[in-house]
Amino acid sequence: MPLTPTKQLLDEAIRGNYAVGAYNVNNMEQVQAIMQAAKETNSPVILQASRGALKYTNMVYIKHLVEAAIEDNPAIPIALNLDHGNSLEICKTAISLGFTSVMMDGSLKEDGKTPTTFEENVNITREVVKYAHQLGITVEGELGSFGGFEDGHGSGKMALTDPDEAVKFIKETGVDALALSFGTSHGLSKFKGNPELKFEILEKVSEAFPYISLVMHGSSSILPEFISLINSYGGNLKGAAGVPISEIQKAIKKGIRKINIDSDGRLAMTGTIRKYFHDHPGVTDPRDYLGAARNSIYEVYKSKMIDFGTAGHAQDYKPMTIKDMKEKIKK
């Protein structure tokens, strides 16, 4: 099947009260691991690339890696999302490459660091929505500011989303999905002490717009086994703390339909490769250690697809045949 419109995946998630994982990709091994997990769990999936990933892969390689995933997994619905676009031009570029959705992060200026005003955010997001919707492309906006940094993107400060502003933002921009800042953070150190997520923000926005897909950024659990693995083999990661799966599942019940995951995949890959080099000092074939890393990513993301409730929902998107349509008419 061709790429699935992102909005279709998210609309089905609303109906089924589950969330679809959006997994950042930069290379073949990551794509293969995610797709193996999606195939085995029968899960729809959103592959997403940041501006940094597009630069790293020279843009066109991402497109063809995803095309390979589609060809190799014809029964799995796959959407392709631009993560943290910071201008109309980068969104246009992603759309020209075949992305089915773009995130316009208008919460920060084009430098990716300086916060914008509410009005500036509305204006640029609305401009992207106007351009994208005429082409059938889904648009995600962001209101509020996440702590931490991702691909050098972020103000470094957290500003929780005002739910009343969120309602106004949705009305004025026409976005299909909205990333809310309710306590999560980008990077490895998401919390100091116990996580304190402001679920009331989700509740208020979801109550006002039950058909809008709410998005959770900074959602990696920062699995301690990989932090330990990295530190055991020369790493020096301190203060790492992620989002417990129990908190993510609670957020899903309150309206989260798209969950962004990046750091957990990076940690699984890095920890596995560090250990592999230690255990196999004579290794020279990248296929050996990248293959091991691919297996680790697969195990991590397979668990997430089950935990997010995505497993078993790939057939929610199966196109109707003529026979199906006739049966529906009879009913």
Q: Does 171 reside within a domain?
A: yes
Catalytic residue status for 285: no
Q: Does 68 reside within a domain?
A: yes
The strand pairing partners of 184, in sequence order, are none
The strand pairing partners of 20, in sequence order, are 258
Q: What's residue 147's pLDDT?
A: 63
Q: Does 103 reside within a domain?
A: yes
Q: What's residue 331's pLDDT?
A: 45
Q: What's residue 318's pLDDT?
A: 58
Q: How far apart are CA 171 and CA 106, in angstroms?
A: 16
CATH of the domain at 176: 3.20.20.70
Q: Does 1 reside within a domain?
A: no
- In contact, 167 and 209? CB cutoff 8 Å: yes
Sign of the CA dihedral with 28 first, then 32, 38, and 44 last? positive
Range of the domain at 58: 6-330
How many beta carbons lie within 10 A of that of residue 211, not counting itself? Answer: 9
Tokens of 83: 């993560």
Q: Does 130 reside within a domain?
A: yes
Q: Does 164 reside within a domain?
A: yes
Q: What's residue 325's pLDDT?
A: 45
Question: Per the structure, how many domains does the chain have?
Answer: 1
Q: Does 110 reside within a domain?
A: yes
Q: Does 290 reside within a domain?
A: yes
- Nearest Cα to Cα of residue 233 among 225, 223, 222: 225
Sign of the CA dihedral with 77 first, then 251, 31, and 63 last? positive
pLDDT in tens, the chain (331 residues): 689 999 999 999 999 999 999 999 999 999 999 999 999 999 999 999 998 899 999 889 999 999 999 999 999 999 999 999 999 999 999 999 999 999 999 998 888 778 899 999 999 999 999 999 999 999 999 999 876 545 555 445 678 999 999 999 999 999 999 999 999 887 776 666 567 899 999 999 999 999 999 999 999 998 899 999 999 999 999 877 889 999 999 999 999 999 999 999 999 999 999 999 999 999 999 999 999 999 999 999 999 999 999 999 999 865 545 555 455 445 4
Radius of gyration of the chain (CA): 19
DSSP SS3 for 161: coil
Active-site residue, selected from the candidate residues 11, 72, 83, 111: 83
For the chain, count helices (H), then strands (E). 13, 8
Q: How far apart are CA 83 and CA 34, in angstroms?
A: 17
Taking the complete model, does pTM exceed 0.85, yes or no? yes
